[in-house]
Amino acid sequence: MEQHERPQDRPASFGATMKAVFWSFFGIRKGKDYERDAASLNPLYVIAGALLGVAIFIGVLLLLVRFAVTHG
């Protein structure tokens, strides 16, 4: 008898992990989505996604500051 994996048992893709990390930056996540993410996300993808998100966030802040200083 074959074991069939349920979709929530499979590891999440990098794109799905990035989506979860994106929503976590805002602090909005449904309870069932959080539970599914906790069971399926790859920790290395989460770390990479968080570092990428922080880098983008800092880059946007630096651009806003540069714009404010030059046009202020």
Asked if residues 43 and 72 have their Cβ atoms less than 8 Å apart, the reply is: no
pLDDT, one tens digit per residue, over 10-64 is: 677 888 888 888 888 777 777 777 777 778 888 898 899 889 989 999 999 999 9
CB 29 within 8 A of CB 23: yes
The structure's pTM equals 0.68
Local confidence band at 9 (pLDDT 50, 70, 90 cut-offs): low
**For residues 51 and 15, what is the distance between their CA atoms, to the nearest angstrom?**
15
Confidence of residue 8 (pLDDT cuts 50, 70, 90): low
Burial of 3 (C-beta count, 10 Å sphere; 0-12/13-18/19+): exposed
